[in-house]
Amino acid sequence: MEKVFKFPDVGEGIAEGEIVQWLVSVGDVVKEDQALVEMETDKAVVSLPSPFSGRVISLKGEPGEIILVGADLVTIETEPKTPSAASPKPEAPPKKEKKKDAGSVVGVLETSEKEFVLPIHQKASQERSEGEVRAIPSVRMRAKALGIDLHTLVGSGPDGRITREDVEKATRQLNPVDSTTTSVLGPVERIPFRGVRRSAAKRVSESTQKVAAVTFVDDADITKLEQVRLNKKGLAEDRGFNLTYLPFIIKSVVAGLKAYPFLNATLDEAKEEIVLKKYYNIGIAIDTPEGLMVFVLKDADQRSILDLAQEISALTEKAFSRTIALSELKGGTFTLTNYGVIGGIYGTPIINFPEVGILGLGKIEDKAVVRAGEIVIRKMLPLSLTFDHRVIYGSEAARFMNTLIEHLEDPDLMLIEGK
């Protein structure tokens, strides 16, 4: 009997995905729950398991192709056809060998030698077997399609990881003419609009079309906070991670959200209701080699500064290695974006719809400011708050920012190890 495995809804409104690579081939015998294909969906790479056992009859789509939810992916023959009358009756195999087919009109089905492991283990095994080449599956597939040997490249990503940009650059160097096309005004290069960049574009387009965005800016004096961070830095290093400013900012943001709950909300236009969230899941936007991602720190109000720092470190590594789960990219109620680590003071960050607020963090600098009538040097953090004016008044946004700054400037209001 032939059964068709369709691209399932992998969660929270995912409508489509891009095939990264097939993990099986036509003719392979697969077991229930064995991974069939890796799909890139809404910034995460997920492996889709087979819902039944059998032999692969056909695969739909090629790597790089966009597949809609509900479309056919794999056809599997779950039962061998009935032997013909002329066929000799096969000997009954021992019970422990029951999974092997002794013979039928389709021949003997050989067990696939491919073994599925979780992506993080797969990455490690690939690195061991391929001479320490570090690259995610989609980059490997792109390199294969372009004829680029990954062993010849030096990765520009974290820990020497090879990125898609490294592969594209190598292609341009090897084929400076073939990698471009000619327009009326001169040579151009066409790059597929796929993956993380495409997902991010859809989100920001939706946000700009639906949100009445306003940006409010201010500065926080974090001179005292810097001393606290340096004093507690050793505690984090002993546990194997860094203590940055982000955990302190998150706790300060949560204090502001609790004081002004309309910033921790969504707007249900269909029901004409503002939905105030009573939980605090803070999204962190980060710049990865594959593009912008936002992972979510769940229940940030119940976490200590050190707990948050540890999870930020772990999720950042997952995001860069593309082993992050969809559940770790979903469910946010408010987002932070730290463009200051790259450069820049103020900005107009785009709200991560359907949230109603996002806080942009500028470059931290020592600046001359006036305190008690005297010019002194203080460590200053520029802040840019974009909010949805349909839900939040400007006065609320300003007061939220005041509460945030109050906590940043007085670290005693925040607990370091407790909740």
Shared domain for 13 and 43, answered yes or no, is: yes
Query: Which residues lie below 8 Å from residue 319, measured CB to CB, with a gap of 6+?
Result: 286, 288, 293, 295
pLDDT of residue 93: 53
Q: How confident is the model at residue 369 (pLDDT cuts 50, 70, 90)?
A: very high
The region that residue 335 occupies, defined by phi over 0 for left and psi between -120 and 50 for alpha, beta otherwise, is beta
Shared domain for 183 and 297, answered yes or no, is: no
Strand-pairing partners, residue 77, are 2, 55
Catalytic residue ranges: 389
The one-character DSSP state at 184 is S
- Residue 300: in which H helix or E strand, if any? none
Helix axes 137-146, 119-129, angle to 10 degrees: 50
CATH code of the domain in which 12 resides: 2.40.50.100
- In 178-221, where do the E strands start and end? 181-182, 187-188, 213-221
Shared domain for 152 and 273, answered yes or no, is: no
Shared domain for 152 and 71, answered yes or no, is: no
Shared domain for 223 and 363, answered yes or no, is: yes
Shared domain for 182 and 249, answered yes or no, is: no
The mean-pLDDT minimum among 22-31, 39-48, 111-120, 405-414 falls in 111-120
Shared domain for 65 and 168, answered yes or no, is: no
- In 231-308, where do the E strands start and end? 265-268, 273-276, 282-288, 291-297
Cis peptide preceding 354, ω within 30 of 0: yes
Shared domain for 229 and 345, answered yes or no, is: yes
CATH code of the domain in which 361 resides: 3.30.559.10
Strand-pairing partners, residue 357, are 387
Shared domain for 161 and 260, answered yes or no, is: no
Question: How many independent structural domains does the chain possess?
Answer: 3
- pLDDT one-digit tens code per residue, 1-44: 899 999 887 765 677 888 888 999 999 999 998 989 988 876 67
Shared domain for 365 and 386, answered yes or no, is: yes
> Does residue 386 sit within a domain?
yes
Provide the token pair at 161: 């990881």
Shared domain for 274 and 394, answered yes or no, is: yes
Strand-pairing partners, residue 335, are 283, 358
Provide the token pair at 116: 């599925």
Higher pLDDT residue, 130 or 92?
92
CA 121 and chain centroid, separation: 18
Shared domain for 24 and 161, answered yes or no, is: no
* CB burial readout 103-121, b (16+ within 10 A) else e: ebeeeebeebeeebeebee
Show the domain range for 324: 196-413
- 99-103 contact pairs (CB < 8 A, 24+): none
The overall average pLDDT reported for the chain is 82
> Does residue 322 sit within a domain?
yes
- pTM greater than 0.75 (yes/no): no
> Does residue 116 sit within a domain?
no
- Report phi then psi at 67, rounded to 5: -120, 130
Is the Cα torsion angle 97, 99, 103, 107 positive or negative in sign? negative
- pLDDT one-digit tens code per residue, 140-185: 777 877 788 888 888 887 677 788 778 878 877 776 545 456 677 8
Strand-pairing partners, residue 286, are 293
Higher pLDDT residue, 194 or 296?
296
Can you count the helices (H) and strands (E) in the chain?
A: 8, 19
**Cβ atoms of 267 and 388 closer than 8 Å:** yes
